[in-house]
A and B are shown apart, each in its own frame.
Chain A
Amino acid sequence: MSAPAKLPQYLAANPRLDRWVRFDADGIATIFTGRCELGQGIVTAFAQIAAEELDLAVDQLRVIDADTELTPDEGHTSGSRSTPEGGPALRMACAEVRAVLLAEAARQLDIPVNQLVVENGRITGADRIREVSYWSLPHRELLAREATGQAQVKPVVRYTVVGRNQPRLDIPDKIAGRPRFVADMDLPGMCYGRIVRPPSFGATLLSLDEAAVRALPGVVALVRDGNFLGVIAQREEQAVKARQAMIGQARWSEPGLPTDADDIYRYLETRATVDTVIMKRENPAARARATQTFEARFTKPYVAHASLGPSCALATWSAERIEVWTHSQGVYPLQRELAQVFDLPVESVIAHHVDGSGCYGHNGADDAALDAVLLARAVPGQPVLLQWMRDDEFAWEPLGPAMVVKTRASLDAQGNIVDWSTDIWSNGHTQRPGTSVSTVPTSSLLAAWHLAAPIARIPQGDPAMAGGGGIARNGEPLYDLPNKLVTAHKVEELPLRVSTLRALGAYANVFAIESFIDDLARAANADPVEYRLRHMKNPRARAVIERAATEAGWVPNALSDGSSGRGIGFAQYKNGYGYIAVVIEVAMEPEFRVTRAVAAVDVGMAINPDGVINQTEGGILQSLSWTLKEAVQFDRERITSRDWETYPVLTFSEVPTVEVHLIDRRDEPALGAGETPTGPTAAALGNAVAHALGVRVRDLPLTRDRIIAAMELA
């Protein structure tokens, strides 16, 4: 007997095989995954992985995602970790299932396992005469066991499903308008809820004419608990009207904010910080060759997730049992936090993931789940569907933190970089459910802080560098530099609520690093592509840079006449995940616009290549939106950007052509794709503007006004 093999992390934590795969009566297999569909196509990619290992067709599979009653606990679906971490667990689980069932098939057919053929779940010998199937075997009993780690996964060379384009399984329903989202759920007897938030952080309720609200048409219940206010009505428009009336009626006292959107960067740089040296590489001899030193300071505002659909949840409360349907990224952490708020055993809370509007990090989904339960408690037995209004979302979702990034580098006489430092000021990048290490009870859920018996707000946290880090994510340039020093300055005071937003600190850090590299290249009289390659040995990094440049028709050392420009940006996400280089082209006449984006991507094995391309295109365009337009506005009292006019995002007339070229690395592990493009796109855009006009804009967003201001200074 061989030694027990090491199981993938999430399979080791959830080793029962029937926790992952079930064969149903109708010739269908159901796959259970603790990861959830966020619009990134993970359900489809996982169906491909399962189909491959089980020798089933994709259309024989049903996928149930993230459900505390049904699926393994895989924590949060975040950080582009589903494919690299969840994929191997599912693959191994399916390989184990196949091995167990084939052993039984071999016994029943009296054919050695290594001579069995499996096709669409039918199991035969080479003679194709005797046949069993997964469904005819006693699969229920056979799968009631734990994974051993002994099964062999299928070698990549035999793949026929993974690594090929697979149309997304959820798209037909969404195209047809069939109900797929939490907001589309409709249970018998369902009521509609809306909430009324305080007008600003720390505001307290002074008075509310409750009777006036209760008298409004259709109002079923008004919920008032400390500073938490909500209303339930028979009809949705009645709930909306009652909410509007409550906003008009309620009187609040507001403590004010310690900074504002113009002052925030000075604020961040002058607060008390916890400083951490993230990495340090020392080579005094190389440093001694320095002949010139350069410094720069980059800023990034608070950015909103701004999911198109406001956060939503459906909840029921009955006999001390909570059931909630949510678009949370982590139903298990949410389950634990809901149990804490209501002081119930964890088993009394059931959370089901249902698709929501696009999710790019920790948004209002978990908060809405608590809101819905707080409302449902007022009407026991009746389902309550709660959706935030647009301004609830903009004013209260956890934002991507504002950041200041300073870079410093020295060049030798040949223009080579001999010394580098990055210093980053930011709040921590997570306040997710379950991330607190505090000894006193705290909650990440917004309404919990507002209750009459509040639970303290979860302290700001920052992911460990082992998980890619938050503040300092991609703060280290991947380039081969003899001296490197990266320091994170975590700002202790927290003026606005923040948490994870797609790529976390990597967006601002890569923007800063890759902008600065271009400035150094210019100082060294070098072409930006050549200069990057000069400092990079990693062949996969070189390959994406070279491929993006080639596909974009990059002309080394090309001069601009001021009417157009092109720039490149590169990163390996988390310095360990997917590689990407992006070339952006801009036109400055008749007006500033981005005309073309060309990217080369290496994510190792691409489970669903078109899915990777779709995610990459989306990451590029979302980053262009952030980089061209987005900044949360706030004054000394409150957030003031509360709709799409005060928080404008990219529109169709501003969208460039987008070309994504995938480098096939099917023998390399899958690395995850969703977050790689954000920083490189931003830097490529800044570099294109610099190429066109000879001026560097270091403050995001790169608006037309900022570019003009930089030209006037030049």
Chain B
Amino acid sequence: MISHQPDSHEPITFEVNGAPRTVQAEADTPLLYILRNDLKLKGAKFGCGLGQCGACTVLLDDHAINACDTPLWSVAGKRVTTVEGLAADGRLSALQQAFVDEQAVQCGYCISGMLMSASALLRANVQPSPAQIRSALDRNLCRCGTHARILRAVERAAHAGADTGVAR
């Protein structure tokens, strides 16, 4: 059996979904592989590795980024939030619940990226216009054609958030 110890490198510490995590890997390792393989957070997906499709979107200090082309060294000391970090106490967030309510999924491969881009939008703007929602999601591709439902889900979450103050 082959061991899975990475080659010895400087440990890098950053916050993931509210908890400090320390990992050892090549400093230029894409954050996506660290999250999925070292931290076992499988929500963010590999789609292109080129920063073109958004399937790997996570939050870095509240901003949506592509984890596939973000090197590990660049997140040292920062806050990373993944789709697994949206739910609190085992309950889906209002944004996630809006996606369930709208059944805004076909295959679901893009959906955690969609949720994270929408979450970043709602953190910055609690009442986005439909045009702002489209703009915020424009770099997230969906191949199944679920766009109309996703737009409705984000609008629903924004409305819910306007009432409760917690949309994201």
Q: Interface digits, B90-125 against A, CB 8 Å rule (1 contact, 0 not)?
A: 001000100110010111111110010000000000
Residues of A within 8 A of B46 (CB): 183, 309-310, 387
Contact between B42 and A177, CB atoms less than 8 A apart: yes
Residues of A within 8 A of B147 (CB): 621, 650, 652, 655
User: Is B76 an interface position by the 8 A CB rule?
Assistant: no
Chain A positions 588-618 with a Cβ under 8 Å from a chain B Cβ: 610, 614-615, 617-618
With the chains together, A619 CA to B105 CA distance in Å?
14
Contact between A655 and B143, CB atoms less than 8 A apart: no
CB < 8 Å: which of A234, A358, A645 contacts B143? Answer: A358
- Known A-B contacts A168-B105, A181-B45, A308-B109; the reply to A175 vs B146 at CB < 8 A is no
Shortest A575–chain B CB gap in Å is 24
Residues of B within 8 A of A236 (CB): 33, 36-37
Shortest A218–chain B CB gap in Å is 7
CB < 8 Å: which of B47, B111, B138 contacts A651? Answer: B138
User: Is B87 an interface position by the 8 A CB rule?
Assistant: yes
Residues of A within 8 A of B6 (CB): 218, 234-235
CB < 8 Å: which of B1, B26, B44, B48 contacts A644? Answer: B48
Shortest B134–chain A CB gap in Å is 4
Contact between A189 and B1, CB atoms less than 8 A apart: yes
Shortest A41–chain B CB gap in Å is 8
Q: In this complex, what residue of A is CB-closest to B72?
A: A237
Contact between B151 and A621, CB atoms less than 8 A apart: no
User: Is A620 an interface position by the 8 A CB rule?
Assistant: yes
CB < 8 Å: which of A181, A240, A610, A625 contacts B49? Answer: A240
Contact between A39 and B106, CB atoms less than 8 A apart: yes
User: Is B166 an interface position by the 8 A CB rule?
Assistant: no
Interface core residue of A180, A387, A618 (most chain B CB under 10 Å): A618
Shortest B112–chain A CB gap in Å is 5
Contact between B4 and A357, CB atoms less than 8 A apart: no
Shortest B53–chain A CB gap in Å is 6
Q: In this complex, what residue of B is CB-closest to A387?
A: B46
Contact between B107 and A237, CB atoms less than 8 A apart: no
Chain A positions 23-62 with a Cβ under 8 Å from a chain B Cβ: 38-41
User: Is B162 an interface position by the 8 A CB rule?
Assistant: no
Shortest A591–chain B CB gap in Å is 15
User: Is A122 an interface position by the 8 A CB rule?
Assistant: no
With the chains together, A623 CA to B83 CA distance in Å?
29
CB < 8 Å: which of A168, A237, A644 contacts B30? Answer: A237
Contact between B29 and A652, CB atoms less than 8 A apart: no
Contact between A614 and B106, CB atoms less than 8 A apart: yes
User: Is A657 an interface position by the 8 A CB rule?
Assistant: yes
Shortest A620–chain B CB gap in Å is 7
Chain A positions 369-424 with a Cβ under 8 Å from a chain B Cβ: 379, 381-382, 387, 389-390
Contact between B2 and A237, CB atoms less than 8 A apart: no
User: Is A653 an interface position by the 8 A CB rule?
Assistant: yes
With the chains together, A621 CA to B147 CA distance in Å?
8
- Known A-B contacts A308-B142, A644-B48; the reply to A175 vs B92 at CB < 8 A is yes
Contact between B103 and A614, CB atoms less than 8 A apart: yes
CB < 8 Å: which of A167, A191, A358, A382 contacts B106? Answer: A358
Shortest A356–chain B CB gap in Å is 8
User: Which size bracket describes the interface of A in this complex?
Assistant: 35 or more
Q: Interface digits, B21-50 against A, CB 8 Å rule (1 contact, 0 not)?
A: 000011001100100110011111111111
With the chains together, A620 CA to B115 CA distance in Å?
23
User: Is B89 an interface position by the 8 A CB rule?
Assistant: no
CB < 8 Å: which of A175, A355, A381, A617 contacts B99? Answer: A175
With the chains together, A41 CA to B37 CA distance in Å?
28
Q: How many interface contacts (CB-CB < 8 Å) are there between A and B?
A: 198
With the chains together, A379 CA to B1 CA distance in Å?
9
Contact between B110 and A177, CB atoms less than 8 A apart: no
Contact between A382 and B2, CB atoms less than 8 A apart: yes
CB < 8 Å: which of B29, B137, B151 contacts A237? Answer: B29
Q: In this complex, what residue of B is CB-closest to A176?
A: B87
Contact between A382 and B135, CB atoms less than 8 A apart: no
User: Is B66 an interface position by the 8 A CB rule?
Assistant: no
Residues of B within 8 A of A168 (CB): 103, 105
Q: Interface digits, B1-31 against A, CB 8 Å rule (1 contact, 0 not)?
A: 1111011000000000000000001100110
With the chains together, A387 CA to B46 CA distance in Å?
9
Q: Interface digits, A206-248 against B, CB 8 Å rule (1 contact, 0 not)?
A: 0000000000011010000000000000111100100000000
User: Is B60 an interface position by the 8 A CB rule?
Assistant: no
User: Is A172 an interface position by the 8 A CB rule?
Assistant: yes
- Known A-B contacts A40-B106, A170-B108, A390-B47; the reply to A176 vs B148 at CB < 8 A is no
Contact between A657 and B148, CB atoms less than 8 A apart: yes
Contact between A390 and B100, CB atoms less than 8 A apart: no
User: Is A649 an interface position by the 8 A CB rule?
Assistant: yes
Q: In this complex, what residue of A is CB-closest to B101?
A: A167
Q: Interface digits, B44-71 against A, CB 8 Å rule (1 contact, 0 not)?
A: 1111111011010000000000000000
Contact between B140 and A618, CB atoms less than 8 A apart: no
Q: In this complex, what residue of A is CB-closest to B97?
A: A175
User: Is A100 an interface position by the 8 A CB rule?
Assistant: no
Contact between B47 and A234, CB atoms less than 8 A apart: no
Interface core residue of A356, A381, A622 (most chain B CB under 10 Å): A622
With the chains together, A196 CA to B46 CA distance in Å?
18
Shortest A655–chain B CB gap in Å is 4
Shortest A375–chain B CB gap in Å is 14
User: Is A260 an interface position by the 8 A CB rule?
Assistant: no
User: Is A174 an interface position by the 8 A CB rule?
Assistant: yes
With the chains together, A652 CA to B145 CA distance in Å?
10
Contact between A618 and B145, CB atoms less than 8 A apart: yes
Residues of A within 8 A of B49 (CB): 240, 389-390
User: Is B149 an interface position by the 8 A CB rule?
Assistant: yes
Shortest B56–chain A CB gap in Å is 10
- Known A-B contacts A189-B2, A617-B145, A622-B145; the reply to A309 vs B111 at CB < 8 A is no
Residues of B within 8 A of A657 (CB): 148
Shortest B167–chain A CB gap in Å is 15
Contact between B149 and A614, CB atoms less than 8 A apart: yes
Q: A235-B6, A358-B144 are in contact. List 20 more A-B contacts (CB 8 A).
A: A39-B107, A39-B109, A171-B103, A176-B87, A177-B42, A179-B42, A181-B109, A183-B46, A191-B2, A235-B25, A235-B29, A307-B143, A309-B47, A358-B106, A390-B47, A624-B145, A643-B52, A645-B52, A653-B135, A655-B147
Interface residues of B (CB under 8 A from A): 1-4, 6-7, 25-26, 29-30, 33, 36-37, 40-50, 52-53, 55, 82-84, 86-87, 92, 96, 99-100, 103, 105-112, 115, 133-135, 137-151
- Smallest CB-CB A-B distances: 8 pairs: A177-B43, A39-B107, A621-B145, A174-B108, A358-B107, A177-B83, A618-B145, A184-B42
- Interchain Cβ contacts under 8 Å between A and B, 12 examples: A171-B103, A175-B105, A176-B84, A217-B26, A236-B36, A237-B26, A355-B107, A618-B145, A620-B145, A624-B145, A650-B147, A655-B147
